[in-house]
């Protein structure tokens, strides 16, 4: 297992490893250049026996998120660059590979686990893990912040398009 400093990526990697799921961790220190354009790296290549191989970008969020406006559930924002880079990586890897955005939610209490089919215990904390294909997310997303270049899927729609990560493995 790679020495990951980001707890969400480390939790997801531990989930893959403990499940015996074949994967390769991408070294984020090595940024790729393709056709003169810098691409944001993703986190894992996950090999699938029954479906497409997955180019995984892990997004960590708290569940619930405590903001100025109170508690919010199913925070799922990403940057436009995240989605565009993942789309370009799909082209680089070609047929048989597809982008997957994995949301690894750090659960505020163990009771929050009821909202997830896949819950992973890592370093004493619980993480709920859901995922959505990059293309599906791209079709459903709306602008969140033009200043930060972020998009999101409204919570009700997100609950419909996101699936337990096991659905993709």
What the block records as the tokens of 59 is 């997004």
What share of the chain in percent tops pLDDT 70?
92
The model's pLDDT over 14-51, given as tens digits with 9 standing for 90+, comes to: 999 999 999 999 975 555 555 556 788 999 999 987 88
Domain ranges of the chain: 7-167
Q: Which of 63, 73, 48, 81 is nearest to 8 (CA)?
A: 63
DSSP state of 19: T
The model's pLDDT over 127-147, given as tens digits with 9 standing for 90+, comes to: 999 999 999 999 999 999 999
Give the pLDDT band (50/70/90) at residue 3: low
What's the gap between Cα 130 and its chain centre?
8
More confident residue, 1 or 52: 52
Residue 31: its pLDDT value, please? 54
Sign of the dihedral defined by the CA atoms of residues 87, 20, 166, 113, in that order: negative
Q: Which of 2, 48, 47, 8 is nearest to 26 (CA)?
A: 2
Range 7-167 has CATH code 3.40.50.300: no
Residue 70: its pLDDT value, please? 86
Q: Which of 76, 69, 57, 66 is nearest to 159 (CA)?
A: 76
Residue 100: its pLDDT value, please? 98
Neighbours of 47 (CB within 10 A): 14
What's the gap between Cα 17 and its chain centre?
17
């Amino acid at each position: 297992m790679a020495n990951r400093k980001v707890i969400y990526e480390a939790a997801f990697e531990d989930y893959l490893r403990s499940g015996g799921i074949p994967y390769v961790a991408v070294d984020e220190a090595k940024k790729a250049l393709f056709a003169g354009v810098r691409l944001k790296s993703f986190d894992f290549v996950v090999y699938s026996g029954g479906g497409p191989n997955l180019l995984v970008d892990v997004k960590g969020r708290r569940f619930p998120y405590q903001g100025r406006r109170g508690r919010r559930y199913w925070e799922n924002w990403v940057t436009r660059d995240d989605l565009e880079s993942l789309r370009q990586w799909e082209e680089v890897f070609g047929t048989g590979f597809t982008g997957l955005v994995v949301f690894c939610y750090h659960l505020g209490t163990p009771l929050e686990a009821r909202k997830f089919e896949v819950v992973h215990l890592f370093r004493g904390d619980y993480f709920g893990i859901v995922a959505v294909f990059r293309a599906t997310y791209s079709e459903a997303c709306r602008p969140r912040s033009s200043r930060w270049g972020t998009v999101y899927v409204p919570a009700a729609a997100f609950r419909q398009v996101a699936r337990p990560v096991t659905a993709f493995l």
